């Protein structure tokens, strides 16, 4: 039987305060990231061998049957080759009733306790994490759905665009980079298939914290100069 993942695991132990919402945050504007774009494997290797800081992030979703749209179910992140990480399971007020009950039972919560497990609070905590860790890149495996969903939740919060980390930090979509470099943009593959091709240690995919670990293993693979390693 799988061990239940804690609802919140915030390994940097940052205090969660309203200070993260203040206008005096020193955040770069959209398109003004200090990190340069990564367009090929050579550039990726240079970044991985530099002192650049990379935040690996992954979201998992559930389907809202009424609005027929994805909603956040879990979000996890980890600093590349570091210990700082976060892992949240989220409670949504638009979850089907049976899913809400299952969530409360699984984590032994009263309904009055679920505010801190909703998207707005989780985004605030991630912003605090980013403020402390100061990543240069946000790395993901196909970020289009993830970032679209985060923007939707930020819109509900009234969060300005220049305070959204996924808009102000250079994104690095590893899936698109692999598709471009390996298959000439003809196709992309799932994270699970990519790990199998590279013979990386197996993990249980579609759990955000596990997919983050898998992405980190792929980054470590591409940090190697294979020509030099095999010579």
- Tokens 């774009």 belong to residue: 37
First to last CA, the chain: 45
Q: How far is it, in rounded angstroms, from Cα 64 to Cα 20?
A: 30
The number of CA neighbours under 13 Å toward the Cβ of 182 is 13
- Tokens 């759905």 belong to residue: 145
pTM of the predicted structure, to 2 decimals: 0.80
Where are the extended beta strands (E) located within 48-99?
Answer: 54-64, 69-79, 85-89
Residue 160 in 3-state DSSP?
Answer: coil
What the block records as the tokens of 158 is 């009234």
Query: pLDDT digits over 157-199, tens only?
Result: 999 999 999 999 999 999 999 999 888 877 778 899 999 999 9
Query: pLDDT digits over 77-109, tens only?
Result: 999 999 999 999 988 887 888 888 988 998 888
Look at residues 18, 25, 23, 11 and name the one whose alpha carbon lies nearest to residue 121. 18
């Amino acid at each position: 039987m799988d061990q239940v993942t804690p609802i919140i695991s915030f390994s940097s132990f940052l205090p969660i305060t309203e200070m993260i919402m203040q206008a005096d945050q020193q955040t770069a504007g959209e398109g003004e990231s200090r990190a340069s774009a990564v367009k090929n494997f050579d550039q990726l290797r240079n970044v991985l061998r530099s002192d650049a800081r990379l935040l690996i992030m992954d979201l998992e979703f559930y389907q809202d049957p009424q609005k027929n749209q994805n909603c956040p179910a879990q979000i996890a992140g980890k600093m590349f080759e570091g210990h700082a990480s976060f892992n949240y399971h989220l409670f949504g007020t638009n979850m089907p009733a049976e899913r809400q009950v299952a969530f409360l039972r699984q984590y032994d919560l009263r309904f009055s306790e679920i505010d801190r497990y909703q998207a707005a609070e989780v985004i605030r905590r991630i912003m605090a994490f980013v403020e402390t860790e100061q990543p240069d890149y946000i790395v993901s495996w196909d970020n289009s759905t993830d970032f679209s969903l985060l923007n939707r939740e930020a819109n509900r919060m009234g969060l300005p665009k220049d305070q959204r980390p996924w808009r102000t930090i250079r994104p690095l979509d590893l899936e698109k980079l692999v598709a471009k470099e390996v298959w000439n943009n003809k196709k992309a593959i799932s994270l699970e298939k990519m790990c199998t091709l590279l013979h990386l240690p197996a993990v249980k995919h579609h759990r955000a914290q596990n997919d983050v670990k898998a992405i980190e293993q792929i980054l470590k693979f591409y940090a190697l100069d294979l020509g030099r390693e095999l010579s």
